[in-house]
Amino acid sequence: MSETHPDVYIQAFNLFGIVVAFYIALLQGWKLLRGIRSYILAGWWRTNLKKYGSWAVVTGATDGIGKAYARELAKRGLDVVLISRTLEKLKRVAAEIEQEFGCKTKIIQADYTRGSEMYQSIVDNLKGMEIGILVNNVGMSGSFHPTRFLAFPNIDKVIMDTINCNMLSVVEMTRIVLPQMVERKKGLVINLSSEVGNRPYPMSLIYSSSKGFVDFFSRGLHAEYKSFGITVQCVMPLFVSTDMTHNLGTNIFVKSASDYARDALNTVGYTNRTSGCLSHALQSYAVALLLPDAVLEFVLSLKIIADFFDKIQKKDEKNKKKK
């Protein structure tokens, strides 16, 4: 019987190594090209957002990322429906947008934590409108400070409010707006998830899980309705300076809401699941690479992380008192 020479094994092993290395290089190269297209080239070749229809509806539109989306959409030629809780803020932001961009606006006062009972008034208000874009932006985090599941002082309220505001709002608003998009065979639904929706984030679990839901719903909805001319995009930011993040100072990691909304809207038509901007895409890549689940769990439970969030919160409270 002839014996296989050991060199054959070495050659086979080398070949396997080359194939694996080639596959990894191809995959990373493809990711890089897609990144360049979505975050760099897309800034020059923006999708014409008016093609989806004349109106855009933005939930949670009077502050932070929602307000920035509303302004950017108005800037790009759309009329905007603003939905939030506070009437004075709605009136002020609507007047500001109309004056600055010369578009039409409509305001709807609604509190998404109230659950299914509040949607009939939204149905009535949006009746007959040609809505090309829906931005499901409204969301709440429960607590900025890292908090263990049972440690919320008002846990049952946090659970219901988060489910209503972060999850039910996305599904119900889509149910209301989608039919006329399907009828016209065009429409864009943008859902604000979060980097923490990518996988479970301990110490921010209710929020993280609700954002995971938004991601799943968006991906599935896109698959179901793309053949009807509908695009569904899931946007997953890291830190953006808003009230929710206690107005963190902006830097290369933390975006301002206006820069973020502009960059994220540039990615429409290029990607359906995005961190929204180059800085956040690179951070997301690094987090996935450097922090596998076990390391992430450990890091998030460190006191130094809790202290960091405390410090930001206290600084913001101090600044607000000064004003």
Ligand X SMILES: NC(=O)c1ccc[n+]([C@@H]2O[C@H](COP(=O)([O-])OP(=O)(O)OC[C@H]3O[C@@H](n4cnc5c(N)ncnc54)[C@H](OP(=O)(O)O)[C@@H]3O)[C@@H](O)[C@H]2O)c1
3-class secondary structure, 313: helix
| Residue in 129, 205, 244, 282 binding ligand X, rule: CB under 6 A | 244
Contact flag: residue 242 with ligand X (CB under 6 A): yes
Smallest gap from residue 233 Cβ to ligand X (A): 14
The region of 12-20, 138-146, 172-180, 313-321 touching ligand X under the rule CB under 6 A is: 138-146
CA distance 20 to 14: 10
Q: How far is the CB of 70 from ligand X (least distance, A)?
A: 9
Q: Copy the structure tokens of residue 260.
A: 């973020």
Q: How far apart are CA 15 and CA 52, in angstroms?
A: 50
CB of 46 to ligand X, least distance (A): 22
What is the H or E stretch that residue 59 is in? strand 55-59
* Residue 80 found at the interface with ligand X (CB under 6 A): no
Residue of 242, 218, 244, 239 lying closest to 230 (CA atoms): 218
- Determine if 85 is a binding residue for ligand X (CB under 6 A): yes
Q: How far apart are CA 76 and CA 70, in angstroms?
A: 10
Beta bridge partners of 241: 256
Q: Which stretch binds ligand X (CB under 6 A): 10-18, 23-31, 41-49, 57-65?
A: 57-65
Considering only 174, 245, 271, 272, the residue that binds ligand X (CB under 6 A) is 245
Distances (CA, A) of 212 to 135, 181, 201: 17, 25, 10
Q: Which of 63, 96, 259, 316 binds ligand X (CB under 6 A)?
A: 63
The reply to whether 279 sits near ligand X by the rule CB under 6 A is: no
Work out which of 100, 243, 293, 307 binds ligand X, going by CB under 6 A: 243
From the list 61-69, 177-185, 225-233, 261-269, the region that binds ligand X by CB under 6 A is 61-69
Considering all CA atoms of the chain, what is the largest pairwise distance in Å, rounded to the nearest integer?
A: 90
Q: Which residues are known to be catalytic?
A: 207
C-alpha closest to that of 189 among 174, 210, 168, 172: 174
Binding region for ligand X (CB under 6 A): 60-66, 84-86, 89, 110-113, 137-140, 165, 192, 194, 237, 239-240, 242-245
